[in-house]
């Protein structure tokens, strides 16, 4: 059923894109939208440093895709802990608790949106970025690997999480947001975690089912929501890394081992939230490695995806 609905969703998306192109006259789109504020929600993939550190190499570089998008419009976006409008928090799940690391205090994506709407209202000149799913896939994948969850039960859980993320997008649109960028989970079957555990098929299935169910629920929001596909992008990079100036897609450049649960893929694993320019693999080039830890990209990986997202946004709006 999902595959049939997904095909319908994609056909509708293509149709909506064609209407946009026709309205602008031909095959080129001149971007007319100039946001005045960027508001972001999500998990570690979008976390700008809620606890003072990001989930990448913390070396002071532009190391998050949401920041790349904001800077392309000459805007700043900073975490709420410093007074900004990025609510994204590492390990956050869409609606479920505890988070990927077992912390029940972490605000879910839903709770992040609650916090924003409690004191703010989106405007027609806001660019809203919503990125979720990675932590939900991690939780379910790790449960299968630990033998505490069946694969079918894990699939059902991520499918529901995908639908839940779509509901959060709808909340923002219903509240008045006209330009909402939605990003699901990249294909964790291409992550270092998958490579090290030899569980690429499982993690690809979980990531794909999350995204499929998210997309199906977004088909009627084409006028206000744009899906930017991280699975497509990171599949391309990991399939042909040299084309992107990347030489290593199977190892973690960071050496910052966390004795605790870290990012949720097991205790005693590298956690990029603890990573600095001083905790890198000897002789490594931070600009040619894709992954900082088992799941999250280096600043270069984040920058590349941010550039891809920016191009998609400008093509659309």
Write out pLDDT tens, residues 89-117: 999 999 999 999 999 999 999 999 999 99
pLDDT tier at 204, thresholds 50, 70, 90: very high
Query: Into how many domains does the chain fold?
Result: 1
Within-domain flag for 253 = no
The pLDDT-based confidence of 308 (bands split at 50, 70, 90) is very high
**Cβ neighbours of residue 26 closer than 8 Å, sequence gap 6 or more:** none
Share of the chain above pLDDT 90, in %: 89
pLDDT 10s digits, 259-307: 999 999 999 999 999 999 999 999 999 999 999 999 999 999 999 999 9
Structural domain harbouring 63: 33-229+303-310
* Burial readout 162-186 (b: 16 or more C-beta within 10 A, e: otherwise): bbbbbebbbbbbeeebbbbbbbbbb
C-alpha to C-alpha distance for 109 and 209, rounded to whole angstroms = 19
201 in a structural domain = yes
The predicted structure's pLDDT at residue 222: 87
Q: Report residue 58: phi and psi, to 5°.
A: -90, 80
pLDDT at residue number 210: 98
Is residue 20 one of the residues assigned to a domain?
A: no
Q: In whole angstroms, what is the distance from residue 45 CA to residue 140 CA?
A: 17
The half-sphere exposure of 150 on its side-chain side, counting CA atoms within 13 A, is 3
Rounded Cα gap, residues 176 and 71, in angstroms: 24
Domain membership of residue 172 (yes or no) is yes
Which percentage of the chain shows pLDDT scores above 70?
Answer: 90
CATH for 84: 3.40.50.1110
SS3 290: strand
Cα–Cα distances in angstroms (integers) from residue 49 to residues 163, 181, 294, in the given order: 27, 20, 19
Q: Which of 194, 66, 198 is nearest to 138 (CA)?
A: 194
Instruction: Give a yes or no: residue 190 inside a domain.
Output: yes
Residue 203 lies in a domain: yes
Q: Is the model's pLDDT at 20 over the cut of 80?
A: no
Q: Classify residue 125: in a domain, yes or no.
A: yes
> Mean pLDDT, to the nearest integer, of 31-60?
95
52 within some domain: yes
- pLDDT category at 31 given cuts 50, 70, 90 is low
Distance CA 262, CA 282 (A): 22
Dihedral in degrees, nearest 10, Cα atoms 296, 298, 300, 301? -20
20 class by beta-carbon count within 10 Å (0-12 exposed, 13-18 middle, 19+ buried): middle
């Amino acid at each position: 059923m999902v595959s049939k609905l997904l095909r319908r969703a994609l056909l509708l998306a293509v149709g909506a894109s064609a209407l946009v192109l026709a309205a602008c006259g031909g095959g080129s789109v001149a971007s007319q939208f100039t946001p005045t504020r960027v508001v972001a929600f999500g998990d570690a993939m979008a976390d700008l440093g809620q606890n003072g550190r990001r989930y990448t190499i913390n070396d002071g570089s532009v190391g998050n895709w949401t920041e790349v998008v904001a800077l392309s419009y000459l805007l700043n976006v900073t975490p709420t802990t410093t007074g900004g409008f990025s609510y994204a928090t590492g390990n956050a799940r869409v609606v479920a608790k505890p988070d990927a690391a077992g912390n029940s205090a972490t605000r879910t994506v839903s709770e992040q949106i609650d916090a924003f709407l409690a004191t703010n209202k989106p405007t027609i000149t806001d660019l809203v970025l919503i990125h979720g799913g990675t932590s939900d896939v991690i939780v379910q994948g790790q449960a299968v690997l630990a033998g505490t969850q069946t694969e079918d039960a894990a699939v059902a859980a991520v499918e529901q999480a995908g639908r839940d993320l779509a509901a959060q997008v709808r909340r923002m649109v219903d509240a008045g947001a006209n330009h909402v960028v939605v990003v699901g989970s990249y294909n964790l079957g291409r992550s270092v975690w998958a490579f090290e555990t030899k569980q690429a098929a499982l993690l690809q299935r979980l990531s794909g089912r999350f995204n499929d169910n998210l997309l199906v629920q977004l088909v009627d929001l084409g006028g206000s929501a744009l899906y930017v596909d991280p699975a497509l992008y990171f599949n391309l990079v990991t399939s042909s890394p040299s084309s992107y100036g990347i030489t290593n897609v199977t190892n973690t450049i960071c050496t910052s081992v966390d004795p605790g649960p870290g990012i949720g893929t097991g205790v005693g694993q590298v956690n990029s939230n603890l990573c600095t320019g001083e905790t890198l693999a000897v002789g490594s080039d931070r600009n040619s490695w894709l992954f900082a830890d088992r799941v999250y990209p280096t600043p270069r990986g984040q920058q590349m995806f941010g550039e891809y997202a920016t191009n998609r946004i400008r093509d659309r709006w």
